[in-house]
Amino acid sequence: MTSSLRVRAGLVSVALLIAFLGIWHLATRSTAPVATMSPEYAKLMGLTATQGKSAMPGPLDVGAKLWEHLKRPFYDNGPNDKGLGIQLAYSIARVGTGYLLAVLVAIPLGFLIGMSPLLSKALDPFIQVLKPISPLAWMPLALYTIKDSSISAIFVIFICSIWPMLLNTVFGVASVRKEWINVARTLEVGTVRRAFTVILPAAAPTILTGMRISIGIAWLVIVAAEMLVGGTGIGYFVWNEWNNLSITNVIIAILLIGIVGMLLDQILARFTRLVTFPE
């Protein structure tokens, strides 16, 4: 039954994809040549103006361009033109650094806050104010104070991924079942041991959920941050191609950003499954 459901779902997915590509193809077909113009004038104009080619590329254009990129993902033509593989690597490295720093800060801090009701109450207003700030709003401040654009980008990743992790850790630690803590206390388990053997495993699923939300946000933000800061990364690639009004390349970048985001999410999802326990 389940396997037939999976097959049917797969078929529907493929059908939807084909329908989408078909509509896309039909919608972006070029119309007949527009106005008549002198050949010397036409030579100076783009295809959009001369042949009525849609400004939006069709799926075939995108496919051909994508193949071109996939054939040589790691070329390096100087500081402003690198292959997509290199750009993605830069973005992932930035996200990784900012995210790991956030993990190192958020989880121990969340643990402390979660174990102390006083701190939890006292810090709550600050966290509530800082949490909803758009990470990009930090950008000018970061650039101004840190005075280094690549560190600023990492800082923005750090600041945006810290809140979901912190809040989830606090929540996970604070809502460990009282019985388990009482049992530990009865058995005279020390505070440190109690934290690592009782609270941590119990709170792990909630903490990992927070980490999963964070990685999603971090990946959302890096693209925007790199568009602002420039230099390298997939966000810079989008900006650079936008500069050239090359929608084909922008679509390819969108596709790749989606795929990498999904992979990052899947990795965290796998970790979450590892630490989940049946109650």
Partner 1 sequence: MSTFDNPFDPDRNLRVGCVCGQHRSAAEHAQAAALRCEPVESEEKRYEGVVASAVMRAVFPQDGARRAFLKSVGASTALAALSQFFPLKTATEVFADTGTPEKKDLKVGFIPITCATPIIMAAPLGFYAKHGLNVDVVKTAGWAVIRDKTINKEYDAAHMLAPMPIAISLGLGANAIPFAVPAIENINGQGIVLATKHKDKRDPKDWKGLKFAIPFDYSMHNYLLRYYLAEAGLDPDTDVQLRSVPPPEMVANLRADNIDGFLAPDNICQRAIYDGVGFMHLLSKEIWDGHPCCSFAASREFITTAPNSFAALTRAIVDATNYASKAENRKQIAEAIAPANYINAPVTVLEQVLTGTYADGLGGVKTDAKRVDFDPFPWQSFAVWMLTQMKRWGQIKGDVDYKAIAEQVYLATDTRKLMTEMGLVPPESSYKSFAVMGRTFDPAKPEDYLASFKIRKAS
Q: Which residues bind partner 1 (CB under 8 A)?
A: 34-35, 37-38, 40-41, 43-46, 48-49, 55, 77-81, 143-144, 147-149, 227-231, 239-245
Q: How far apart are the first and last CA of the chain?
A: 28
Rounded to a whole number of angstroms, the minimum distance from the CB of residue 250 to partner 1 is 11
Angle formed by the axes of helices 200-229 and 138-146, to 10°?
80
Rounded to a whole number of angstroms, the minimum distance from the CB of residue 79 to partner 1 is 5
Q: Which is nearer to partner 1, 62 or 143 (CB)?
A: 143
Rounded to a whole number of angstroms, the minimum distance from the CB of residue 225 to partner 1 is 11
Q: Which is nearer to partner 1, 22 or 140 (CB)?
A: 140
157, 225 Cβ separation under 8 angstroms: yes
Rounded to a whole number of angstroms, the minimum distance from the CB of residue 137 to partner 1 is 15
Q: Which is nearer to partner 1, 57 or 110 (CB)?
A: 57
- How many whole angstroms separate alpha carbon 56 and alpha carbon 251? 10
Q: Which is nearer to partner 1, 172 or 235 (CB)?
A: 235
Q: Which is nearer to partner 1, 143 or 211 (CB)?
A: 143
Q: Which is nearer to partner 1, 5 or 35 (CB)?
A: 35
Rounded to a whole number of angstroms, the minimum distance from the CB of residue 49 to partner 1 is 3
Rounded to a whole number of angstroms, the minimum distance from the CB of residue 267 to partner 1 is 30
- How many whole angstroms separate alpha carbon 72 and alpha carbon 82? 10
Beta strands in 122-232 (DSSP E): none
163, 107 Cβ separation under 8 angstroms: no
Rounded to a whole number of angstroms, the minimum distance from the CB of residue 37 to partner 1 is 6
Residue with tokens 């000018």: 140
Q: Beta-carbon neighbour count of residue 246 at 10 Å? A: 14
- How many whole angstroms separate alpha carbon 182 and alpha carbon 177? 9
- How many whole angstroms separate alpha carbon 210 and alpha carbon 268? 10
Q: Which is nearer to partner 1, 227 or 268 (CB)?
A: 227
Buried b (16+ CB within 10 A) or exposed e, 137-154: ebbeebbeeeeebbbbbb
- How many whole angstroms separate alpha carbon 227 and alpha carbon 92? 15
